[in-house]
A and B are shown apart, each in its own frame.
Chain A
């Protein structure tokens, strides 16, 4: 039987394999190609936004440097933050890993709507171009949050920012919708919800958040755009509007967005740990349901970003308690991972190293998060470097370490070749040490009172800032090791084989890189994926392919 007929017979997608270059690599409908497109585009924006950060650190290396003007500095941190959140972390985790792994793990041939998938990718590069091109027209200067009234007074670049993030919002909403339908409707026979791999649980929750919260973001940005362009007085105090209204609608998206940026990382950590300690994951259901709980709670905590914006006391109290509640499901996950590691046969390959880095730095960021959730402390620390440190511990120490863990883990599935382990370990240790050297001292200068978003500062903080800047340059340089390793693997990387790590989820049951239709026969799932030591719980897969390699 021809491949296309197999696809039709098993209810897969009925589009034939593409034959032209454009259909194969540019306007591709294949989720694996789209994932690579996301990785390449997101990687490019990671480099650009990272360079912005390095330039800012050059400015901050001394208390009165003149590397950047004050205006350019404001533009740099605004675009750096916006790009890292919307053009790097969210597209890489959802668009990249979600696309690459989720359909494979549920035993599907593609996502539910491949066409929509292609559209949502192609909304992404124009958004990035708009955002970076805003430098030509006066980039936004009010940070990635763009609070009015400043956001209303800035030149045209802020409108470009609105358009760019609007495009990203539409793209993420479509992806969320698409993934959620895929998970609900396209799981392989026998894969009940409690047999789904934990990455799928995380991706489904993220998809739900993207669908709801990001739709709200698009609406909010349209509101800001018309307020700027047509003087619609939503945020104009003189006409009865309220700047705080923007903060509400923005954070009603952007707090769930924090979990859009971390839940997929939680998911891939839950995949990597059992594989590298050869033990069943501890508390499968606890991890799965805590993802859902985090997803729901994330809609009820947005105003903790606004403790200093004039909330009522009862509101502050409510949001403080709800915010601290989120630590419970998060703690459930952390403890379950630690319990999985406990007594396991730990194999310290690069994916697990990055996961351990993730665990330590993210947990630390979580602790400072609980501190900041407390109203009295937040009122004191708000808009200081303490917040910058907290944010980077969760977004860099959490999401970016997660992204690298996932890249090292699924690189063989994506490309068919392994990355070099020695270089990977150099990358990890250099990145881990310089990351902590960069962001840990920021807690102290924040507590001492250095405000964030300033281009010059009190010379009393000069020594620490110089140390931070040097560490930040090392951190940037550590990324070059990965870049070299990735390029090198194309020619010199060891051929991976279908299952180099001995994983038990469905993506490892097929050749690497995955063939066009993923599964020749749709697999049948007999039980959950993490029972190490028992026979594989699948029928209809090639047992030969899935054999655990001898390391």
Chain B
């Protein structure tokens, strides 16, 4: 239906955009619930455990995760400037900041892959490992999808699908990216600090 978007009037576009925006927000809410389920499981197991992390299990290395977090939050900032570019019809700004976001997102994923391969615990090893790998894995999967999403909208932008007035796909990608950032804040505190 994206092909039809330019064929309709402004009022109709606003109506369709409103529906899609609400639908996308609802999607993010239900996605939040999915993270919430595993976060609840983590808190439940943690409360039930006499010591935490369980005996013999070490927390993952904080500094690597801290650097990785800065990379991810930085990608949130570049995403923001990319959208600012689109809002003011500065396509070049949009393109370069989106490329930066994609690179930062990929760096985050590489950092996570490095961390996974250097940990001794596994998700079958302990309740800490179970929660850690499920939640950070689910989050990493979201980042991966986000990177694919950004590459897609970048290509579509270069082809001229989006304009200053009509770019719901970009709005959705931005919302998704910031959502994934916010989830990481919770996970970072849960697994590395608290």
Which A positions have Cβ atoms within 8 angstroms of B?
A: 8, 11, 14-15, 112-113, 115-116, 173, 176-178, 180-181, 184-186, 211-212, 214-216, 218-220, 223, 226, 230-234, 239-242, 245, 248-249, 252
Contact = CB atoms under 8 A, between A and B. Distances in A.
Contacts of B36: 216
A249 B41 contact: yes
B191 to A, nearest CB: 16
Contacts of A239: 125-127
Given A180-B26, A218-B34, A241-B130, A185 B45 contact: no
B54 A249 contact: no
A4 B29 CA distance: 34
A240 B49 contact: yes
Given A177-B27, A223-B134, A240-B54, A215 B22 contact: no
Contacts of B193: none
Nearest to A219: B37
Interface stretch (B11-19, B80-88, B166-174): B11-19
B168 to A, nearest CB: 13
22 contacts: A11-B11, A14-B1, A112-B23, A115-B1, A180-B26, A215-B30, A215-B34, A216-B33, A216-B37, A219-B33, A226-B123, A232-B123, A234-B41, A234-B45, A239-B125, A239-B127, A241-B45, A242-B44, A242-B45, A245-B44, A248-B40, A252-B37
Nearest to A184: B22
Contacts of A177: 23, 26-27, 30
What 4 pairs across the A-B complex have the smallest Cβ distances?
A219-B37, A215-B30, A215-B33, A219-B34
Given A232-B123, A233-B126, A233-B130, A242 B23 contact: no
B48 interface: yes
B186 interface: no
A252 B37 CA distance: 9
Contacts of A180: 26
A181 B127 CA distance: 38
A223 B45 contact: no
B4 interface: yes
Given A8-B8, A116-B23, A177-B30, 4 more contacts: A14-B1, A212-B30, A223-B134, A242-B44
Contacts of B54: 240
Interface of B: 1, 4, 8, 11-12, 15-16, 18-19, 22-23, 26-27, 29-31, 33-34, 36-38, 40-41, 44-45, 48-49, 54, 123-127, 130, 133-134
Given A185-B22, A216-B33, A240 B45 contact: yes
A184 B1 CA distance: 21
A211 to B, nearest CB: 5
B7 to A, nearest CB: 8
A231 B124 contact: yes
B126 A211 contact: no
Nearest to A8: B8
A185 B34 contact: no
Contacts of B40: 248-249, 252
Contacts of A242: 44-45, 48
Contacts of B26: 177, 180-181, 211
Contacts of A214: 30
A220 B130 CA distance: 14
Contacts of A216: 33-34, 36-37
B123 A230 contact: yes
Contact of B19 (A112, A226, A240): A112
B44 A212 contact: no
A312 B16 CA distance: 50
Given A215-B30, A242-B48, A14 B127 contact: no
A218 B44 CA distance: 19
Contacts of B38: 219, 223
A223 B41 contact: yes
Contacts of A178: 23
B113 to A, nearest CB: 19
Given A14-B4, A215-B33, A232 B22 contact: no
A211 B41 contact: no
Contacts of B41: 223, 234, 245, 249
B30 to A, nearest CB: 4
Nearest to A230: B124
Contacts of B44: 242, 245, 248
A173 B19 CA distance: 17
Contacts of A233: 124-127, 130
B12 A249 contact: no
Most chain A beta-carbon contacts within 10 A, residue among B1, B4, B49, B130:
B130
A185 B19 contact: yes
B15 A11 contact: yes
Contacts of B1: 14-15, 115
B166 to A, nearest CB: 15
B19 A186 contact: yes
Contacts of A230: 123-124
A181 B124 contact: no
A113 B23 contact: yes
B31 A240 contact: no
Contacts of B127: 233-234, 239-241
Contacts of A219: 33-34, 37-38
A243 B89 CA distance: 55
Nearest to A186: B19
B12 A8 contact: yes
Contact of B134 (A212, A226, A245): A226
A212 B45 contact: no
B43 to A, nearest CB: 10
A177 B23 CA distance: 6
Nearest to A170: B30
Contacts of B45: 234, 240-242, 245
A337 B27 CA distance: 35
A252 B4 CA distance: 41
Contacts of B11: 11
A233 B41 CA distance: 11
A239 B133 CA distance: 16
A116 B18 CA distance: 17
